[in-house]
Structure 1
């Protein structure tokens, strides 16, 4: 979709409408930290209660509930006349494979009339940009059923998941309380010579800086979904600013 430049005093290059669950406390500060000068983020919260995601079934039900509420949040954020939408939630964008992810994005585009960057498609774009990646491993705050959806999505694009870790966080709020020690343990489980790249999914997981640091000592791509999603939105709109401190994706590509 065609994107027009903004005349907004602060968002004179781009006004992004950002959609995220009302329980998500990580994606908003992450996206603001990645924001170049002249780009502004305008956050619309998708109303959701702090579901106690204590099983495969309840996690999936909660994720679909967020999906059902997304279009209402889209309509709210449109009142500030953004130029483009960025999804600050990722689970449902992986569901039902590549075709399901595409249809989900297109539904949001139909409601908004704007282009949309989703976490799932941004991760694939990042993998393609790094190049030479065939086998991956990933960590999520999800439950195993949702991890299976991520594996299926990646498989549709030709990527083999060698290993994955589902942290099975007990609630939406608890995702943002995941410790660095938890992340370190997960990355140790994922890493191996049989893996070309590591991925973190789940936008309420505080992993952006940890992933950037891990990339330096693992000497292979480590992709945090918040970084990938915002990078994708910038590049889709011709904003090529290279920003240090958040991994090679933002600094080099």
Structure 2
């Protein structure tokens, strides 16, 4: 027998109330991390979910428009959309942190401009960017001299190098895949990143920094560390680490390098 009401009998439809039996808590996730992800990114959400120590860490993502090509101009063009993207992140919910997930964008736009746009909408959320997180991670290792690997074209590389210099870091070597197309960045295999990392390192470097949230570097960070015998900091690894710690979660994570395992 079909008890589904039709439009003629809908006014007579009644259900059995179980409202008196409900139990409410604060919702899913003890530690809630918000993510502002580029519209054409394949990697960040996947990396964050893979690095979670447990299901009590909840990830909530929204997207921000971004051009197919990664240039200084296209990175700057994202700035006005940060506020709108923030508004779409569970608007009435509580988030511990909000991470703007673009390393080169956070360099070109600047932390203050990004945090102003995020905290105007969500004043209680800690703003995280990949470059500030990466610098904090490198400081955990007291890494002054850096070997750097990026996927960017040189106009973007110049911005990264200048930012690291302003942060007081010394670049011992700077290597790049020199890719402009975001689809191609995402298509870089982890093996290609591993092999490039071996070539990018220098004996005098205290650590290797791998920039860009679009590439699958976090998943090979531990393997690169083992091969080089020194710390490796990647954009997504560092951004997740700082988001986790700022949210109040001190759980250690295995399989993604010393940063998440030790600090």
State whether residues 196 and 221 of structure 1, in contact with CA within 8 Å, keep that contact through their aligned partners in structure 2: yes
Query: Contact 1:122–1:232 (CA<8 Å) still a contact in 2?
Result: yes
Contact kept in structure 1, 2:153 and 2:180, CA below 8 Å: no
Does 2:134 align with 1:104?
A: no
**TM-score calculated relative to the size of structure 2:** 0.83
Between the aligned partners of 1:40 and 1:86, the Cα distance in structure 2 is 13
Structure 1 residue 25 and structure 2 residue 42: aligned? yes
Deviation at 1:155, TM superposition (A): 1.6
Structure 2: any 5+ residue segments left out of the alignment? Answer: 1-24
CA distance in 1, matches of 2:229, 2:248: 28
CA distance in 2, matches of 1:148, 1:88: 20
Q: What is the aligned partner in structure 2 of residue 141 from structure 1?
A: 151
Which residue, out of 79, 86, 96, partners 1:74?
86
- Give the Å deviation of 1:192: 1.4
Residue of 166, 177, 192 corresponding to 1:167? 177
Show CA shifts across 1:31-68 (max 9, x none): 0111233110011011234x245xxxxx1122122333
Q: Which residue of 2 aligns with 1:44?
A: 62
Aligned residues: 236
Provide the aligned C-alpha RMSD in A.
1.8
Deviations 1:169-198 (A, max 9, x none): 241121110123432342133211121110
CA shift at 1:159, angstroms?
A: 0.6
2:245 is equivalent to residue 235 of structure 1: yes
Query: Take 1:162 and 1:80, find their aligned partners in 2: how far apart are those partners?
Result: 46
Stretches of structure 1 that go unaligned for 5 or more consecutive residues are 1-6, 54-58
Alignment of 1:1-253 (within 5 A): 8-11=26-29, 13-37=30-54, 38-49=56-67, 51-53=68-70, 59-79=71-91, 81-83=93-95, 84-95=97-108, 100-113=110-123, 114-131=125-142, 133-253=143-263
SS at the partner of 1:239? coil
- Deviation, 1:116, is 0.9
Q: Normalising to structure 1: TM-score of the pair?
A: 0.86
Q: Is the 8 A contact 2:151 2:212 kept in 1?
A: yes
Give the 3-state SS of the residue equivalent to 1:236 in structure 2.
helix
Kindly name which structure, 1 or 2, has the bigger radius of gyration based on alpha carbons: 2
